[in-house]
A and B are shown apart, each in its own frame.
Chain A
């Protein structure tokens, strides 16, 4: 029978229990801190945050439990627990030192009690300058117009509530910066607010990008307005006058003059089509996106009906696979995309054979996206022109085929708006195959390939 050691004998149940409780509290506190840290880090990876934040605490409690159950002498148990706490503290030190976010703990007077090293990056101030400030250092660098809301938010935290705030501040060099901060109160063992924890991200890049987008949208609106009014009005005048001449003098005109008027009419029609296309292209970015489930089978049935007179006219066949997927996006935009691709296949058909257009579902690498191909046996695209076909006003064929050269540019822009993409394979003289990728799930930051959220996320440098 093992005899208990003197150390073990001297252990009082109460002090042992207290020690376990304190250790558990420290662990829980650390786990809590990790949760807060990783809640912000969730802007880049929630999964990673969960792994880093919860697992160490769980692991620690598991170890603690094992220590409790073991029959190790108490001093060894304490030493092991201390080592484990030290290891955890070191882990959190590494985390706070390297996290690209500013972590600040303020005491109840607003003075900075802890400030993570990264804070120096977006502010431009040395940590010593931040610690030495009397009162809240950030009140010294905050933009005047945002000071009041910052103070109001701090009062909220002092009352025990969390807050999230976006504000401007000045870098040491005087450059205006933007920050988004989340502050939570820290409650001590007596249930009183002892301090507050703020985690702040530098969102200057994001704000700049948002402004650029707003400016670009304004420019596009101005451009659309200019085309709709200033370009279309003189065109309408010319068309109107041509019509007047035709109505009033149609049968009496000299043949040469008649010929000249015919050429003017054709040129005006081309210009009209070009103006309409430019307007259509410029308007794509301005409209709001709708999110809806779109059955491609139903959409293709509509398209087949719409194109049936043109298909019959040239004895073309449009074959649509029966089991097309349901995708997510703006139905009208998706309709425009496929309408454009089928219209192009009809336009650029080969004179040597009957046109066959095949719409099929393709294998997608992930179930978050669906791939659909539109393949034709038309005249194909010359190898040297494939790269340019999605750019506006680039045409792979000569003027013998009417068109403004904007259709595929519109398709690409529409797909960018929808978070999808398009690829093309083509052999001149044999035909082309356009493969469209569309979202098959609702828009989410990590599924959006080219949408706003993803860009914003990339631009939002954290500090």
Chain B
């Protein structure tokens, strides 16, 4: 279990490779940050409950196989101790309805997994730096 002064980012994505790409994008760029990864809604909820105060940002994939990343977002917004946690939704989808429902559920930003992996990495890094600074 992490100590209370640890700064963590929760990363939830059901695709191992996608989580790995996030890890690669953020490693060496953010000091004293621990990434805590989950591949399902249940695993993400366990991680959140375990040590909710250490999280500074949640990166949530919208589509988690048969599950939906929005259910984690809704849990975060409903829980008093977590409701202020910045949440970054990520998805391969740029459908307006996906973006709209994510903002309606309370996400702080929506990032499309761009066709160009390098562009995605750069956008992701900028967004994470912004939220970690604030």
Name the residue on B nearest A268 (C-beta): B115
Provide a sorted-by-A list of 21 A–B residue pairs whose CB atoms are within 8 angstroms.
Answer: A228-B94, A228-B95, A229-B63, A229-B91, A232-B93, A233-B15, A233-B63, A235-B92, A236-B18, A236-B92, A236-B115, A236-B117, A237-B17, A239-B115, A239-B116, A239-B117, A240-B17, A240-B18, A242-B117, A244-B20, A272-B115
Interface of A is mostly: helix
CB pair B17 A241 closer than 8 Å: yes
Q: Which residues of A contact B15 (CB under 8 A)?
A: 233, 237
Q: Which residues of A contact B18 (CB under 8 A)?
A: 233, 236-237, 240
State the CA gap A459–B92 with chains docked (Å): 40
State the CA gap A343–B113 with chains docked (Å): 27
Counting chain B CB atoms within 10 Å of each CB, the highest count among A224, A233, A239, A243 belongs to A233
Q: Contact flags (1/0) for B97-111 with A, using CB distance below 8 Å?
A: 110000000000000
State the CA gap A235–B18 with chains docked (Å): 11
Q: Is A225 an interface residue (CB 8 A)?
A: yes
Query: In residues 59-118 of chain B, which contact A (Cβ within 8 Å)?
Result: 62-63, 91-95, 97-98, 113, 115-118
18 other A-B residue contacts (CB within 8 Å) besides A232-B93, A283-B95: A225-B93, A225-B95, A225-B98, A228-B98, A233-B15, A235-B92, A236-B18, A236-B115, A239-B115, A239-B116, A240-B17, A240-B20, A240-B21, A240-B117, A241-B17, A244-B21, A244-B24, A272-B115
State the CA gap A272–B115 with chains docked (Å): 8
A: contact size bracket: 10 to 19
Q: Contact flags (1/0) for B16-53 with A, using CB distance below 8 Å?
A: 01101100100000000000000000000000000000
State the CA gap A235–B92 with chains docked (Å): 10
Given A228-B92, A229-B92, A243-B118: A236 and B113 within 8 A (CB)? yes
CB pair A224 B17 closer than 8 Å: no
**B residues adjacent to A (C-beta < 8 A):** 15, 17-18, 20-21, 24, 62-63, 91-95, 97-98, 113, 115-118
Interface of B is mostly: mixed
Q: Which residues of B contact A232 (CB under 8 A)?
A: 92-93, 113
Q: Contact flags (1/0) for A236-260 with B, using CB distance below 8 Å?
A: 1101111110000000000000000
State the CA gap A307–B40 with chains docked (Å): 46
CB pair A229 B93 closer than 8 Å: yes
State the CA gap A242–B92 with chains docked (Å): 17
Name the residue on B nearest A230 (C-beta): B63
Q: Which residues of A contact B21 (CB under 8 A)?
A: 240, 244
Q: Which residues of B contact A276 (CB under 8 A)?
A: 115
State the CA gap A221–B113 with chains docked (Å): 20
